[in-house]
Structure 1
Amino acid sequence: MAETDVALKEAMTIEGALGVALVDYGSGMALGVMGGGRDLDLAVAAAGNTDLVRAKMRTMEMLGLDEGIEDVLVTLTGQYHVIRPLTSRTGQGLFLYVVLDRSRANLAMARHRLKQIEATLQV
């Protein structure tokens, strides 16, 4: 099982990764970040994406959908933002957030790699 910092480092090896965060969507706080920079404030992005995750979960509840969210994808003109809620017992209430450079990333491979990282993450 990988610890948080190891999982974040692994996520940063995804082709095109610009930044990654492990976020508590109860509080909106980033428990760990890697990458980012002046043009990508991962703490601000973590808080904002918390609202997105909460809204989607409320919507699914109102619709009576008894399914889990595998991931949420936001496609920008130059980036992919992938949000992956964790499903393990120890990961409940957390999500991985990865920002990818759209010109360098393979979205299918990135999603596959995030699934693998999630499976080994021990929080």
Structure 2
Amino acid sequence: MPGIDECLLEAMALPGARGAALVDWSSGLALGTVGESPVGDHETTAAETAELARAAAEYESFASAGEDPAAAVPGTTGAAASAHLAGPPVEDLIVTTRTGYHVLRFVATSFDSSVFLHLWLDRAEGNLALARMRLRDLAEGLVLR
């Protein structure tokens, strides 16, 4: 299971990857960064993307109110399904710009699950579907040490 640095390096191996970060959305701080930043400063990018992630994770509009946990998580029942839904109700966010994609993938943790992976992809070279699948796998295997 990869740690932060290994996870970010694996994210950068994706076609079109320009930069990646692991960000704490409650504080807006980058826990790790690699590659470029869209604004030239990883800390500014972390703070700005944290605002977006916080809004998506905390607003009721995105919550799965009244959803049956077992129906939301195929193959699980009762407590296991409820535990799976304990993190933010949003799995990922995608922001499309004229030149790129920003994919924010929430990471479930044993503490408060307030971190996400941010991947910045070049729009001409990146593969959005592949990036979403790979970030999902990286988020599930990430070990925060």
Residue identity matched to 1:71: D
Contact 2:8 2:21 in 1 (8 A): yes
Residue identity matched to 1:115: R
Query: TM-score when scaled to structure 1?
Result: 0.89
Q: Which runs of 5+ in 1 are unaligned?
A: none
Matching residue of 1:105: 126
Contact 1:20 1:42 in 2 (8 A): no
Matches within 5 A, 1:21-100: 21-36=21-36, 39-60=39-60, 65-66=64-65, 68-89=89-110, 92-100=113-121
Contact 1:21 1:96 in 2 (8 A): yes
User: Hey, what's the Cα distance between the residues in 1 that align with 2:40 and 2:111?
Assistant: 28
Matching residue of 1:119: 140
Q: 1:7 to 1:91 in 2, by over 3 A?
A: farther
Contact 1:73 1:82 in 2 (8 A): yes
Q: How many residues align?
A: 122
Residue identity matched to 2:7: A
Aligned-residue Cα RMSD (Å) equals 1.9
Q: Which runs of 5+ in 2 are unaligned?
A: 66-84
Where relative contact order (Cα < 8 A, 6+ residues apart) is larger, the structure is 1
User: Hey, what's the Cα distance between the residues in 2 that align with 1:64 and 1:8?
Assistant: 28
Based on CA coordinates, which of the two structures has the bigger radius of gyration? 2
Contact 1:2 1:120 in 2 (8 A): yes
Identity rate of aligned residues, in percent?
A: 38
Q: Deviations over 1:33-65 (max 9, x none)?
A: 0001585422211100111111112323x6753
